[in-house]
Amino acid sequence: MGATKISSRLPVPASQLQAPLPKRISPGLAVPPIWMRSEVPVAYIDAVSRMEQRVDAILSGDAPETIWLLEHEPVITAGTSASECELLDHKNIPVVTAGRGGRYTLHGPGQRIVYVMLDLTRRRRDVRALIQALETWVSAALLDIGVVAGPRDGRVGLWVDRSADKGVGHEDKIAAIGLRLRRWISFHGISINVNMDISEFNRIVPCGIDDSRYGVTSLADLGRKASMIALDEALAGSFTRTIGRLLPTTSY
């Protein structure tokens, strides 16, 4: 199967996430995910509400799996493992408790959010396999736009080697992953720093890692001029050869 074209994979306005699709999904039918993209930043609480509605619709057979591409208004979110001592400065920015796994992270314009609502009953009921598939997918998309990034043992997310410009052993995080499952439907997902102000991450201890060797980066910080649209195209183009291969949809 060839690479997916973003224009053919994002045919539906993101507003439709607020309501189930009219046609039910047959339990035995392998239906590819639909892709949606919001063109303006979405408040975090509103996005979570829409995701929960979509998860319910997937569970009831009223909607297919969904990949939602968006940006958030500025917000700090606290995952289920967040420690208050890791919140350093929350002046003039809301802090929201998130139901996802992980610790503190920060969202805002210039960061691509990828909410991944996949039915693991149709794929494979294996959370570790899902996380590894998401890491492989985002790594492949970043490589397509010229950035080498990957997972590291003991550190969640995707990391870029900065030894050449910051010193041996230095690495920066470019993408974070935090998930939640409801009856084997995933939601929440991935954040990828494109051209956001990474100095804002000084407000928190990102993902609980307090080590001067490890920082935060973005495509812009790395000197890549890739746009949000270019990243979306890379994500769509690499989905089938990564998620589709590692967690293929099956009937049940």
User: Does residue 252 form part of some domain?
Assistant: no
Query: Which range is least confidently modeled, 15-24, 151-160, 161-170?
Result: 15-24
For residue 165, what pLDDT is reported?
94
Give the per-residue pLDDT at 251.
55
Most confident range (mean pLDDT) of 29-38, 73-82, 165-174 is 165-174
Q: What is the pLDDT of residues 108-136, one digit of tens each?
A: 999 999 999 999 999 999 999 999 999 99
Looking at the annotation, which residues are catalytic? 207
Q: How many domains does the chain have?
A: 1
Between residues 148 and 84, which one has the greater pLDDT? Answer: 148
SS (H, E, C) 214-250: EEECCCCCCCCCCCHHHHHHHHHHHHHHHHHHHCCCC
30: enclosing H helix or E strand: none
- pLDDT tens-place string over residues 183-225: 999 999 999 999 999 999 999 887 777 788 999 999 999 999 8
Highest-confidence range of 79-83, 114-118, 237-241, by mean pLDDT?
Answer: 114-118
pLDDT, position 24: 60
Between these two residues, 38 and 6, which has the higher pLDDT value?
38
Which has more pLDDT, 17 or 220? 220
Using a pLDDT cut of 70, give the percent of the chain over it. Answer: 87
| Domain assignment present for 251 | no
Where residue 194 sits, what CATH number does that domain have?
3.30.930.10
Is the per-residue pLDDT at 246 higher than 90?
yes
**Residue 1 resides in a domain:** no
Note the pLDDT of residue 27: 57
Q: What is the pLDDT of residue 1?
A: 32
Report the chain's C-alpha Rg in angstroms.
18
Residue 7: helix, strand or coil by DSSP? helix
Interval 39-52: pLDDT, tens? 899 999 999 999 99
CA-to-CA dists, residue 206 to 114, 175, 211, 239, angstroms: 18, 11, 10, 27
Does residue 98 belong to any structural domain of this protein? yes
- How far apart CA 161 and CA 231 sit, in angstroms, is 20
Query: What is the band of 32 on the pLDDT scale with cuts at 50, 70, 90?
Result: confident
pLDDT tops 50 at residue 8: no
Query: Could you tell me if residue 179 is inside a domain?
Result: yes
- Would you place residue 79 in the very low, low, confident or very high pLDDT band (cuts 50, 70, 90)? confident
* Range 171-177 average pLDDT: 95
- Give the residue numbers spanning the domain of 12: 6-246
On whether residue 85 sits in a domain, the answer given is: yes
pTM, entire model: 0.88
